[in-house]
Structure 1
Amino acid sequence: MSISATRPLDDQSPGSAFWSTLRTRQLDRYPDAAARYGYLLLTVLVTVALYYELYVSSSVATQQIAALHVSFSFYVRLLAFGNLIGAFGSLFAGVTDRLGRCNIVVAGLLVTGIMVAFVIPATSSGWAFGISTWIVGLVEGICLVATPALIRDFSPQVGRGAAMGFWTMGPVLGSLVVSVVATATITGTLATADWGREYVYSGVAGLVVFALAFLFLRELSPGIRDQLMVTTRDRALVEARAKGLDVEASLRNPFGQLLKADIIISAIGVSLLLLVYYTAVGFGTIFYETIFHFNAHQANNIGDWNWGINALALVLVGALSDVFRVRKPFMVAGGVFAAVMLALYAQLATQSPTYGHVVLIVSLLSLGLGLAYTPWMASFTETVEARNPALTATGLAIWGWILRVVVFLSFIILPVVIASVTPLVNYGATVQTYATKYAKQLAFVKANGPLVKFAQANGTALGFAATHPALVQEATRYGADLKQLATLQATNGADMAAIQANAAKLATLQRFAPEVAVIEAHQALFLQLATNRTSPTLQAQAVAAAGGGVTGARILATIAANQATLTPALTWAAANPKVVQFAQQHAAVLGFAATHGAFVTQATKYSSQLTALATLSATHPALLASASAHAAQLAALTAVPPAAFAYLQAHGTAVATAATNSPGQWRTWYWICFGGIVVFLLAIPLLKGRWSPAKAKEDEAAHEAMVQEELAKLRA
């Protein structure tokens, strides 16, 4: 079916033309330079907004994983399946060759803006986050094929490099915006719960761009866009041909026309080239935070350098490839340079580079990728045009599908290669906090493991020793006496009770032992004397019984002076001879108890603790002595919250092992990415385009002659 042009916009009033194109969004004439550059700029802005929304997770990945309570592997697989869903969205975008580009892009901006600004920040589980990002990925997959198709539509092949350079700035500037906004809004370490605000910033920006695209974005009508334009001088011929072009015929069996080796292998090659790019986009902050221990602000600041240098390289090389009329030499130079820088970058993972060193290598690697990618995009669209210019979006859909499938597969493989990230991301920060805060205590534990274990097992006894040092010291000094007292109490409890109850009487008996001995030896005499104290005869006999002379007289005088105290004591002793005998047999121990009453009371009160300490002294004398010598350090250990030790015990080993293994695993992954660059370099010859600038200019001159010839025929 032939399609003819509708009424030219030039013939409509300005207001009518605006509202008409707001409905149809199609231009029936190729725009002049100013308008064309405006559409190109707006398309790039749309691309930047879409990639900003798509990549914002990279700035808060570490915090997201912790907040959503998911493992690194689960998180990566969510992103991987998002790319897979986006791949089929990209494949679907091929219909824009038939249905047009603008309406799909505008609608997509609205959907992704709402999802990113309002839905995703409200998610609190891994699955909710994943499903939301899959929806965004599906829409983004469609839109991010339609936008390079718009760039191609508005850019002839001579100038395509610069135009594609600006388009490829979309993902890079999207990444740069992510880093710049995160650098400005994250000061130091970001709290786990604050990850959603970065999504809000991104979604609101997307909705603003949606409003601009809704009002001002346009596209070429099928008759114009479905032709090949080498230079802007082809405009007249293209518009003339459009009036009689059979668009329907050119769109038959689109995938059958484009599923060819040059398109498929080239798309695989560039997808593998971009493995390192997508690793940086998705996991750059995780790499910098877990391997080099930079904080979130520093990690995102590296992104500023990375994407800023890459953006400059994309535009510069695009313009240069237009000047020299060749793409392939720039692809080779950029790919080789990127491979060299990537080899150096891989080695950094197992070293301890400075922040500046990391920034330098990352920037140079980004420069190489930019030098390779823009010429490839221009050359790929030219390769598609060589087969059928009406199927540009279909060709880009094939590229988008392959790219996202490769990213999906790589993200499935990545957690297998880098298996150590989950402990570092989920537990590393807390382990590091505890390890820093309690560094001295942990060092003591490490150096004195047996002692700490002994102290933990006997914490009650050692704690008592620390709070009752004087009592423990006395108990150690008088341990034998305390043991005897304890034995007597256990075996002769009744006698000990009687002695305790009559302590005063026993003290009297002990105090007046000579006098008591005389009385007990001459009981009958002293009974008589008690009833007849004035008898000289009895007095003389008593003095003689007491030893005679001065000694006897003194003893008798003492008895007389303390009769009131002695009588009850003697009476009790007479009634309790066994108790008295028991007291006499253990006089030393009972005397010790009497002279150290307060100590014995305390020792009795804390007998279980003192017994435990005595047992430890007998069984582990060296450890007990060491515990005493390190009492201050052991006391400091008690200040560490049990939860901290439990956390370190549960995750410390896993984090330490991951910290040891992670650098080598990241290095392995980057060597895999290095292999991807090699494949890209090998696929370059399949693309259309000259290696020699001279040959390319000859082709352009021949094309110009053909255009002039056809225009002459049409005029005739």
Structure 2
Amino acid sequence: MTIAVLATVVLYYQLYLSGGVAVDIIADYGLTFKWFVFMNVAALVAAGVAAHLGGVTDRVGRAKVVTIGLVIVGLISAVAIPMCGDRWSFATCFVLLNAAEGVILVATPALVRDFSPQLGRASAMGFWTMGPVLGSLVVTAVVGSGSNAGDWQSHYVVAGICGIVVAALSVPFLKELAPALRDQVMIEARDQALLEARVKGIDTEQGLERPTRQMLKPDIVLSSLAISMFLLFYMTMVGFGPTYFEVTFGYSQAQANNVLVWAWAANVAGLAIAGVASDRLLVRKPFMLVGSVVVLAVLVVFIALAARPETSYGTFAAVFVVMFFAMGTTYVAWMAAFTETVERRNPALTATGLAVWGVIIRIVFAAFVFLAPFVVSTVSTIVDHGATVKAISEGQSPDLTEEQNQVVAAASTDGTAAERVNRLRAEFPQAVETMSSLPPAARAGLGVQSTNLAVRDAAVADIVQATGLSAESASARLDLIGEVPPADLEFLVWFSPLVDPEVAAKLAYVAEHGADVQAAIADGPAQWQRYFWISALGVAFFIPMIWLMTGHWHPGQARKALRDHEAAVGREMAQVIGVDRNVVTNL
């Protein structure tokens, strides 16, 4: 079971890495935010189809699927993705990565179920559900540490190598039950004695007829839909959390990932603590109800904070700790209750039931992600143009010289500078062209050229060196410069580099997109709030669906049901092996 969880961790580390370095991927491939989102939608659809196919693990075995899947995902991450030279090759690899995840998502929890009696089911499922969360935690911790900043491909290489190592470990250590034993509900560890006695007479193939139809029941389908809606905010933070904090609050990539470390750490704690507590009390539903109510209340608080630029890093961290702890409490109880609900229908089809859930959750996530660029339309503008506009406006463009950056930064704040340079260029074309070719020190001395022969000779020499003209032609150019009015000449000493095509293009970029970026920054928080409200509605939908699932509300009722089951086990064992109840009790 430890290997199954470890496999889940490294799988989700590789899967969720795109969210942590999304801005770098978008910039490197020249993507729009909408293109990046639609790539994620395609990947989720592929994962949903693959999750449906994951039901075959009821027949072929879980361990083989997990091991092969880990190798495939590891090679995609460590080898294929770093070699992608364009957006389409990267998108293809990303979709294949998600497809493999869709199958493994079904196989790994099914493995955990196989080796966990219901009495410890919540603890076991809490152990498994730590996998995706720890995968998120690893992503945010590694990216948030600032290691390999700007080199996002190296993150995939490291993640892929980790996946291949775990795949190698799974070959000797990942085990599974024989199909005949696996297809029975294990209420306690001693039930295995009864199961072994039943193996001789059980027809496991009959229980596998029309598996999907058997699982398409209201309690299974609606429960799957409910948890998918409940997890919409979790999915938002996985896919867009770092991007949200970067574009809305101006966090660096490291800060944006670090604030989410608090969320994932609290989530892991909630999964572990609630899993143990649920098993001790023998109930699931109270944990789901209390946890979901807390999540809804704190999510409303977060939505209010999302539009306040003064909200501090510490405030977000505190809100995330409470919300994601409660989210972990709810999710681990749901996972245990869901597998028990599936087993109530047919214990032979656990993987098929999980496959139904896997398909539904991918469809819901795909639809929710698809809405992102339409509900939060400002993100496209900020992600596509914000970083470039900021770099140019602040004089930090890597394509320009230090002097050119200074001029562009000054012109960005003076909206008339480019227009004035163009007017002077039309009136004094050779003078402006000559001045733009000179270094700053040479331009600064042009204003006194007519009265100081030494300075004039030096200016002529500078023009010759910069333009390649003869001394005579350079002197004539200098005379043309002298015809420029003093005020305009002083202006050109500083702004004449704007006539350079590359410099002019940068300034034009700011003129074209700067106002849109500023408007997007102003409007973005309100749009994110609307997107988050969809997540809140998802949590509200989840709450009444709790009553559809199997299980008791009160520990006393659960204990009575367990005693009744123990009695049934004793009677069944006595009938199978021909001994009395006292012998059964001592097994």
Shorter-chain TM-score: which interval?
A: 0.7 to 0.9
Match of 1:297 in 2: 254
CA 403–452 in structure 1, closer or farther in 2 if over 3 Å, else same: closer
Matched, 1:144 2:101: no
What's the offset of the Cα at 1:423?
2.6
Q: Report the residue type matching 2:30 in the other structure.
A: H
- Listed one character per residue, the Cα deviations across residues 166-203 of structure 1 (whole Å, up to 9, x for unaligned) are 1100100111111222234527xx32xx1111100110
Aligned 1:521-670 pairs, distance under 5 A: 613=485, 641-670=503-532
Matched, 1:218 2:80: no
Larger displacement relative to structure 2 (356-365 or 140-149): 356-365
- Listed one character per residue, the Cα deviations across residues 290-342 of structure 1 (whole Å, up to 9, x for unaligned) are 11111111222223222111111111111111111111111111111111222
Match of 2:320 in 1: 362
Match of 1:711 in 2: 573
Aligned 1:94-109 pairs, distance under 5 A: 94-109=55-70
- Listed one character per residue, the Cα deviations across residues 68-117 of structure 1 (whole Å, up to 9, x for unaligned) are 11111111111111111111111011111122211111111111111111
What's the offset of the Cα at 1:239?
1.6
Tell which structure's C-alpha radius of gyration is larger. Answer: 1
Q: Report the residue type matching 2:26 in the other structure.
A: I
2:286 is matched with which residue: 322, 329, 332?
Answer: 329
Q: Report the residue type matching 1:702 in the other structure.
A: D
Tell me if structure 1 keeps the 8 A contact 2:447–2:489.
no
CA 469–202 in structure 1, closer or farther in 2 if over 3 Å, else same: closer
- Following the alignment from structure 2 to structure 1, what is the Cα–Cα distance between the partners of residues 237 and 317? 13
Tell me if structure 2 keeps the 8 A contact 1:186–1:296.
no
What's the offset of the Cα at 1:372?
1.0
- Following the alignment from structure 2 to structure 1, what is the Cα–Cα distance between the partners of residues 504 and 308? 35
Tell me if structure 2 keeps the 8 A contact 1:67–1:124.
no
2:423 is matched with which residue: 454, 457, 461?
Answer: 457
What's the offset of the Cα at 1:697?
1.0
What's the offset of the Cα at 1:229?
1.5
Query: What 5-or-longer segments of structure 1 have no aligned partner?
Result: 1-39, 475-601, 614-623
- Following the alignment from structure 2 to structure 1, what is the Cα–Cα distance between the partners of residues 414 and 17? 47
Matched, 1:174 2:174: no
TM superposition score normalised by structure 1: 0.70
Count of residue pairs brought into register by the alignment: 535
Match of 2:534 in 1: 672
% of aligned pairs identical? 38
Q: Give secondary structure in 2 for the equivalent of 1:340.
A: helix
- Following the alignment from structure 2 to structure 1, what is the Cα–Cα distance between the partners of residues 142 and 417? 52
- Following the alignment from structure 1 to structure 2, what is the Cα–Cα distance between the partners of residues 436 and 443? 5
What's the offset of the Cα at 1:468?
4.7
- Following the alignment from structure 2 to structure 1, what is the Cα–Cα distance between the partners of residues 160 and 290? 37
Q: Give secondary structure in 1 for the equivalent of 2:201.
A: coil
Match of 2:119 in 1: 158
Q: Give secondary structure in 1 for the equivalent of 2:190.
A: helix
TM superposition score normalised by structure 2: 0.85
1:254 is matched with which residue: 211, 214, 236?
Answer: 211
What's the offset of the Cα at 1:365?
2.0
Match of 1:415 in 2: 373
Tell me if structure 2 keeps the 8 A contact 1:271–1:407.
yes
Match of 1:381 in 2: 339
- Listed one character per residue, the Cα deviations across residues 580-625 of structure 1 (whole Å, up to 9, x for unaligned) are xxxxxxxxxxxxxxxxxxxxxx999977666664xxxxxxxxxx86
Tell me if structure 2 keeps the 8 A contact 1:272–1:677.
yes
1:392 is matched with which residue: 350, 353, 362?
Answer: 350
Q: Give secondary structure in 2 for the equivalent of 1:70.
A: coil
What's the offset of the Cα at 1:662?
1.8
Query: What 5-or-longer segments of structure 2 have no aligned partner?
Result: 397-404, 436-442, 453-473, 579-587
CA 449–649 in structure 1, closer or farther in 2 if over 3 Å, else same: closer
CA 634–342 in structure 1, closer or farther in 2 if over 3 Å, else same: same
Match of 2:466 in 1: none
Matched, 1:265 2:222: yes
Q: Give secondary structure in 1 for the equivalent of 2:348.
A: helix
